[in-house]
């Protein structure tokens, strides 16, 4: 276990005193924390083939990540999602989960979750469940091992599937996330959805977002989920349901499979008016909007020796300036809307 921070005492009552409310009246209650920019895969829509990763000194230590995340919890954050890069490749990441799980025990936090590519889930699923994680998102864009190797530039699909099985066996709810790609997986999306639903997993489809330079032109790969939905409705009955997980997905039930299907549509329908999320990168940069260049350097704040009040002030200042919305347009998506990759910001 890592050393504790002054936020250990944060009680739900204290946390509710002064919630984080931005300049547009939205309460920020959900923090995504990217714990590393590194990854064991190189998905074509996410990273370029030859990425330059950050030097270690620039990356927050696990204690620093805990300190900032815990400050958010003390300020009313009810949901933490650990992401990356690939979070499970960060050395010692289970110590961070163990430490953060104290906020679940105290009742200050409703949920501690994880987004992973699944390659190391077999190893960690039981520990995650033991530490209070109830749900994990696993990104998997295809059921075809050869296509998976191409899309991830070398990934092994059986490892991911074994990770999903291990997570289910450990009692975790698993949601499968897939980015909808016109050429690479559009035709097999129904099979992927049926596969997930047959295992009792929810499934979410995501529109490719213009984040960071990659080798391919994203306009070639972009697939509107409006069109995907229309296609699915030609042979399935999709009924809108009120289910929400705190994120941007809007859900339907597929009557024929009995499973839930979510759509994350940042381009064809933006959801900024109800945005409750901010993102912390592994370098301690707080991004209050995924699709804007806004950034607050919380690493500089804590490494300059700020006390907890100073850190809270810096967080409040950043939240106050949260932009009203992003500015993604697919017709401009040949060039990225923001320069940083999704693996830097944390999905």
Q: Which residues bind ligand SAM (CB under 6 A)?
A: 39, 45-46, 83-84, 86, 115-117, 139, 177, 179, 206, 208-209, 211, 342-343, 347
Q: How far is the CB of 107 from ligand SF4 (least distance, A)?
A: 31
In the stretch 34-73, what mask flags binding to ligand SF4 with x, by CB under 6 A? -----x-xxx--xx--------------------------
Nearer to ligand SAM by C-beta: 128 or 302? 128
Tell whether the torsion through CA atoms of 166, 167, 170 and 175 is positive or negative. Answer: negative
Residue 111: closest CA among 303, 244, 254: 244
Applying CB under 6 A, does 85 fall inside the site for ligand SF4? yes
Nearer to ligand SF4 by C-beta: 117 or 265? 117
| Minimal CB distance residue for ligand SAM | 347
Applying CB under 6 A, does 344 fall inside the site for ligand SF4? no
Structure tokens at 202: 């929810």
Applying CB under 6 A, does 208 fall inside the site for ligand SF4? no
Structure tokens at 268: 């064809």
Applying CB under 6 A, does 287 fall inside the site for ligand SF4? no
Residue 214: closest CA among 345, 49, 332, 40: 49
Nearer to ligand SF4 by C-beta: 120 or 322? 120
Applying CB under 6 A, does 290 fall inside the site for ligand SF4? no
Q: How far is the CB of 306 from ligand SF4 (least distance, A)?
A: 30
Q: What is the DSSP letter of 324?
A: S
Q: How far is the CB of 281 from ligand SF4 (least distance, A)?
A: 13
For residue 176, which phi and psi values (nearest 5 degrees)? Answer: -95, 130
Q: What is the DSSP letter of 338?
A: B
Q: How far is the CB of 35 from ligand SF4 (least distance, A)?
A: 11
DSSP one-letter string for 185-217: TGGGHHHHHHHHHHTT-EEEEEE---BS--SS-
Q: How far is the CB of 154 from ligand SF4 (least distance, A)?
A: 11
Nearer to ligand SF4 by C-beta: 151 or 193? 151
Q: How far is the CB of 256 from ligand SAM (least distance, A)?
A: 25
Nearer to ligand SAM by C-beta: 139 or 296? 139
Q: What angle separates helix 189-198 from helix 225-232, to the nearest 10 degrees?
A: 70
Alpha-carbon span 45 to 152, nearest angstrom: 9
Residue 6: closest CA among 315, 306, 276, 270: 306
Angle 194-199-204 (CA atoms, 0-180°, nearest 5)? 55
Q: Which does 265 bind (CB under 5 to 8 A by kind): ligand SAM, ligand SF4, none?
A: none
Q: Which of residues 105-144 bind ligand SF4 (CB under 6 A)?
A: 117, 139
Indicate the SS3 state at residue 41: coil
Q: What angle separates helix 121-130 from helix 157-169, to the nearest 10 degrees?
A: 20
Which residues contact ligand SF4 (rule: CB under 6 A)?
39, 41-43, 46-47, 84-86, 117, 139, 343
């Amino acid at each position: 276990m890592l050393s504790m921070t002054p936020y250990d005492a944060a009680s739900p009552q204290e946390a509710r005193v002064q919630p984080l409310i931005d300049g547009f009246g939205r309460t920020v209650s959900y923090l995504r924390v990217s714990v590393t920019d590194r990854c064991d895969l190189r998905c074509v829509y996410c990273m370029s083939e030859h990425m330059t990763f950050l030097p270690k000194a620039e990356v927050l230590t696990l204690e620093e990540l805990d300190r900032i995340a815990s400050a958010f919890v003390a300020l009313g954050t009810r949901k933490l999602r650990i992401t990356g890069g690939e979070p499970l490749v960060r050395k010692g990441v289970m110590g961070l989960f163990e430490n953060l799980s104290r906020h679940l025990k105290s009742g200050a936090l409703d949920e501690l979750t994880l987004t992973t590519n699944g390659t190391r889930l077999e190893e960690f699923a039981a520990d995650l469940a033991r530490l209070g994680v109830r749900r994990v998102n696993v990104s998997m864009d295809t059921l075809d091992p050869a296509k998976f190797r191409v899309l991830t530039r070398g990934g092994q699909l059986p490892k991911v599937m074994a990770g999903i099985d291990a997570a289910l066996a450990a009692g975790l709810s698993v949601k499968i996330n897939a980015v909808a790609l016109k050429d690479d997986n559009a035709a097999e999306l129904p099979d992927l959805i049926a596969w997930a639903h047959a295992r009792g997993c929810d499934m979410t489809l995501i529109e490719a977002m213009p984040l960071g330079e990659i080798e391919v032109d994203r306009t070639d790969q972009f697939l509107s989920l409006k069109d995907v939905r229309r296609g699915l409705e030609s042979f399935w009955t999709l009924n809108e349901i009120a289910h929400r997980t705190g994120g941007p997905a809007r859900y339907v039930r597929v009557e024929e499979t009995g499973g839930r299907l979510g759509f994350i549509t940042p381009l064809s329908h933006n959801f900024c008016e109800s945005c409750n999320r901010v993102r912390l990168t592994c370098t301690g940069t707080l991004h209050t909007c995924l699709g804007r260049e806004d950034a607050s350097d919380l690493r500089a704040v804590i490494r300059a020796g700020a006390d907890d009040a100073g850190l809270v002030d810096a967080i409040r200042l950043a939240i106050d300036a949260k932009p009203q919305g992003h500015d993604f347009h697919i017709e401009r998506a040949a060039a990225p809307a923001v320069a940083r990759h999704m693996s830097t910001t944390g999905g």
